[in-house]
Amino acid sequence: MDPLIGVVAFGAAAGGFVQGLSGFAFGLVALSIWAWVLDPVLAGPLTVFCSLVGQLLSIGSLRHAFELRRALPFILGGVLGVPLGVALLQRIDPVAFRLAVGLLLVVWCPAMLLARDLPRVTRGGRLADAAAGLVGGVMGGLGGLTGPAPTLWVTLRGWGRDAQRAVFQGFNLAMHALTMATLLASGTFPAAAWPLCLVAGPAMLLPALLGARLYRRFSDTAFRRVVLGLLAVSGLVLLATTVPKLW
């Protein structure tokens, strides 16, 4: 078997499992493996494709908890934020931006993990939720980081694990679908990525479903720890990949 095919399949399986378990973080896991063998021109679109597939595979398990009324402000904010973030690319250094986000995640998430009682934000209503989605959209347009802001925000909202996951999975699904549609409509999805999609899609199928099944055994507290832990790790990855570029 071609070693490239094996690495792509392994990265997809690992990312699919983590995404099925947590509802996000496919790119965090898969790219840490694919970065060794794949050109970024292929790795980026492949990550978008697999993230979208992973969301579609696992979101069915949360259909009982999904409320469009609750998720819609996040999604609308994200849709408005993505083009704004793309426009800001001309004014903001993307590397410095990713470094700042990494520092925030590395400091904030462990502090929340160590806190006995998380602060619970009950004010702001849908407008505040839309603002969190807007920030996520802007961060996505600037550096492909749609997830951290809405995920942190729903954690502070104090909702149960199913409600939290249903919101940020619905948000991420919408953002990945928007990104994929944009790539296809603009003709920028590389043809060379399609054979890799045919490898990665089947490879992540069973791991994603297994992760989604394992998620059901988690308590609210355990799920919060998984989410904050993965966000902290993503912050470390951002620091590791951006600090060398600044030097």
And the tokens for 53? 């597939």
Across 19-33, 163-177, 192-206, least confident range: 19-33
Please choose, from the candidates 241, 207, 219, the residue with its C-alpha nearest in 3D space to the C-alpha of residue 13: 207
Domain boundaries, the chain: 3-246
Measured from the Cβ of residue 32, the count of other Cβ atoms closer than 10 Å reads 16
And the tokens for 17? 């499992």
- Does residue 233 register a pLDDT over 80? yes
Query: Who contacts 70 (Cβ-Cβ below 8 Å, separation ≥6)?
Result: 129, 163, 166, 167
Q: What is the chain's mean pLDDT, rounded?
A: 85
For the segment 192-220, the average pLDDT, to the nearest whole number, is 91
Residue with tokens 């045919």: 198
C-alpha to C-alpha distance for 141 and 179, rounded to whole angstroms: 10
Q: Within the chain, what is the greatest distance between any pair of CA atoms? A: 56
Please choose, from the candidates 228, 218, 232, 225, the residue with its C-alpha nearest in 3D space to the C-alpha of residue 62: 218
